[in-house]
């Protein structure tokens, strides 16, 4: 027999841990990008803004890439299946 729905859902601690790991890795990568661009030498405000824009760009770029390659799945993109292989947006 198949598994029940509550057995297939990962625990919230695991999902929270993955999210926090991803957020920390993205924040560190954004800081490295800001430092590589030379913004760390010009003061707190410029370095902070460079980090923020790098963080936003990394999150948006990853989301766009996952959307293009189908990483969110059909329902994650807002598509639904109509009679066979036809797709329509919502």
Distance of CA 48 to the CA centre of its chain: 21
What pTM did the predictor assign?
A: 0.63
Would you say residue 42 has pLDDT above 90?
Answer: no
Would you say residue 47 has pLDDT above 80?
Answer: yes
Q: Which helix (H) or strand (E) holds 63?
A: helix 44-69
- Residue 90 has a pLDDT of 45
Between CA 38 and CA 80 the distance in angstroms is 46
Kindly state the average pLDDT of the residues 17-43.
Answer: 91
């Amino acid at each position: 027999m198949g598994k029940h729905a509550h057995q297939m859902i990962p625990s919230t601690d695991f999902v929270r841990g993955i999210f926090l790991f991803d957020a920390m890795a993205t924040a560190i990568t954004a800081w490295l990008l800001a430092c590589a661009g030379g913004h760390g030498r010009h003061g707190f405000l410029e370095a902070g803004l460079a980090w923020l824009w790098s963080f936003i760009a990394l999150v948006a770029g990853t989301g766009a890439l996952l959307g293009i390659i189908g990483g969110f799945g059909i329902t994650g993109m807002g598509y639904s299946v109509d009679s066979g292989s036809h797709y329509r947006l919502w």
